[in-house]
Chain A
């Protein structure tokens, strides 16, 4: 409705044009999300003057920006999957648990390889494929519960969220196994042309999935299911298949994120791996401007949401603030970003100034 009014203004031209441009800008999600990221980066620059400095040490780029991107990589993957899930009016609480399961599977298998097992399925390449397959199966389970048993997404994925960590502990027998295999470690800590490998994974995934949903009708179908799944079904869209697809994709993303995390520390901790990462992923998606009510999604903005959170955290590390204040600052910044994006809040703030115009 708003958009139509703005377009009408554009056609009228003249005096309204500038006003329209500003109003389009002020109502655009990209503007507010970008503004938040910019402010945080500027604050970081204020805290440490060489924040944007990037140096080359031993063929590896070193710098806060690289750190932000490297730390963001698993969350970007999760946020991509989560964005599509949320676009169908769903939510996936299980990604953290799926990360833990997949890390446990990958490390358990690779340990058998290191112990000298010659079975084909413990070869590092196969281990990675199997792990991705396990993630897909977890997603399939969620998808079937939601699409075919019609369970509420929050509950259906809560089941796996609660039970999943138990399953991960079952796989590793309650331990946190470590490994030395280079192939699996490369996923989490490899360096290609000076840049950490996880960054490539995250951005290749972003590009591939953006192409997949925006260059085909898939994105539109996902949004349509999010607006009204029954109407979409009557219009000939296989709503259930689309729902299953997004959860499987989310599971696969979580599997890769789990391998990145396991590769980084060369171990799988079933208690801690991916703990609260589902909440951070959902937060990033919402900060990026995707509504939890579904029907619209913005992959790039979700990635910016992840970058906002991670820039803030890296900024906190370089600052002199005591680490115990991290969560408080995070809560305050997140609230500020959310309020900045809430039209109700902006109206509330600008109310006293409205009359002056």
Chain B
């Protein structure tokens, strides 16, 4: 077992343990119905989390995703629901706006040396503000396209529903994994996160990559907003407030290091599913009050970060190497 896979393994073990525990309490967790719902309900922020994974691997952070999701929802609702635009052109226009928005933040970060935290924080205010300017009330979308999308569903034998939204989530996941590990852009992202100066000296186009990373994150956040709009069939400027924190927490629980350079898209996916399972469990249970989810996320974060710390220390390595490839581990440490 290579030491870099251990956080990923731990993420998976925690997910499996959580899921089995939930299954032992509620047998419905064994049905495809819950699985389908998990994928559908967590699709929108899972998609945003995949974008955030790239940003964090590159050593940055993107606080604007929640606001971008809200802006997208309101924009689509206003254009389709009120102004009668066709959904597909609206989505294309919105995705272009979102990508441009992210690229602008990337430029501020790279060319004007504004720290990512601050640049994307202004992005948070701007996108949320624009959403409020467009509309402060919830707008319903009644469009045949939305109806037909909600009917695009694969029904499992046990009446579990694999929705279009869930499919979109899995598609983004696979593309994300492909981009991270099998393209030059992906390698550049890892290189920049590992050591930006070394990456620059080795010929990584850091400027272009930074702009592309934030453009990708905002593109996916916009896509997430569209997905949310498809499943909610409405747009509201007050949704997804503070969502970026859950997204960042999921990325960290998924084994990505906030220092950059290390992380897996699949880890983020498992973490999103873990948090989704907890949420579903708490809803089904009903006796636990909703604020426990926040405390549980905090405890999980603490556990994972502590684990990562343990792994990066020499003693921790010995603890986890199980006496096998100790030599390789020591070399990598």
Interface residues of A (CB under 8 A from B): 91, 149-152, 154-156, 158-167, 169-170, 174, 275, 279, 282-283, 286, 292, 324-332, 334-335, 338-339, 342-345, 348
Contacts and interface: CB of A to CB of B under 8 A. Distances in A.
A334 B122 contact: yes
Nearest to B292: A166
9 contacts: A158-B252, A162-B246, A164-B298, A166-B291, A166-B293, A169-B294, A331-B125, A334-B122, A335-B122
Contacts, number: 126
Interface centre among A151, A282, A334, A335 (most CB of B within 10 A): A335
A71 to B, nearest CB: 17
Determine which residue in A161, A162, A165, A169 has the highest number of CB atoms from chain B within 10 A of its CB, and name it: A162
A327 B294 contact: no
B298 A327 contact: no
Contacts of A151: 305-306, 309
A157 B309 CA distance: 16
B92 to A, nearest CB: 24
A163 B298 contact: yes
Interface in B253-312: 258-259, 289-295, 297-299, 301-302, 305-306, 309
B240 to A, nearest CB: 14
A162 B249 contact: yes
B258 A342 contact: no
B35 interface: no
B118 A165 contact: no
B132 interface: yes
A154 B59 CA distance: 12
A170 B289 CA distance: 9
Interface in B35-72: 61, 63
Contacts of B161: none
A325 B126 CA distance: 10
A139 B113 CA distance: 30
Nearest to A168: B291
A348 B112 contact: yes
Contacts of B301: 155, 158-159, 162-163
B136 interface: yes
A166 B117 contact: no
A344 B113 contact: yes
Given A155-B305, A158-B249, A338-B122, 10 more contacts: A152-B305, A166-B294, A166-B298, A170-B289, A170-B291, A283-B121, A328-B132, A329-B129, A331-B123, A348-B112
A335 B129 CA distance: 14
Contacts of B130: 328
Contacts of A330: 125, 129
Given A169-B291, A279-B121, A324-B132, A163 B297 contact: yes
Given A174-B291, A286-B118, A156 B126 contact: no
B111 interface: yes
B30 interface: no
A326 to B, nearest CB: 7
A304 B305 CA distance: 36
A160 B112 contact: no
B118 A331 contact: no
A152 B118 contact: no
B317 to A, nearest CB: 15
B302 A345 contact: no
A339 B107 CA distance: 12
B112 A155 contact: no
A286 B290 CA distance: 35
Of B122, B132, B289, chain A has the most CB atoms within 10 Å of the CB of B122
B295 A339 contact: no
A286 B112 contact: no
A328 B114 contact: no
A167 B114 CA distance: 34
B112 A150 contact: no
Nearest to B245: A162
A286 B295 contact: no
Nearest to B289: A174
Contact of B125 (A159, A165, A327, A339): A327
A51 B293 CA distance: 46
B126 A331 contact: yes
A283 B124 CA distance: 12
A167 B293 CA distance: 11
B8 interface: no
Interface centre among A151, A283, A328 (most CB of B within 10 A): A328
A36 B312 CA distance: 45
A155 B298 contact: no
Nearest to A160: B298
Which 9 A-B residue pairings sit nearest by Cβ, starting from the closest? Answer: A163-B298, A327-B129, A166-B294, A328-B129, A331-B126, A169-B291, A331-B125, A166-B295, A166-B291
Contacts of A163: 294-295, 297-299, 301
A160 B118 CA distance: 21
A342 B151 CA distance: 52
B122 A165 contact: no
A335 B127 CA distance: 13
B248 interface: yes
A57 B309 CA distance: 59
Interface in B227-260: 242, 245-246, 248-249, 252, 258-259
A163 B302 CA distance: 10
A152 B112 contact: no
Contact of A149 (B128, B136, B306): B306
B115 interface: yes
A135 to B, nearest CB: 18
Nearest to A326: B129
A46 to B, nearest CB: 22
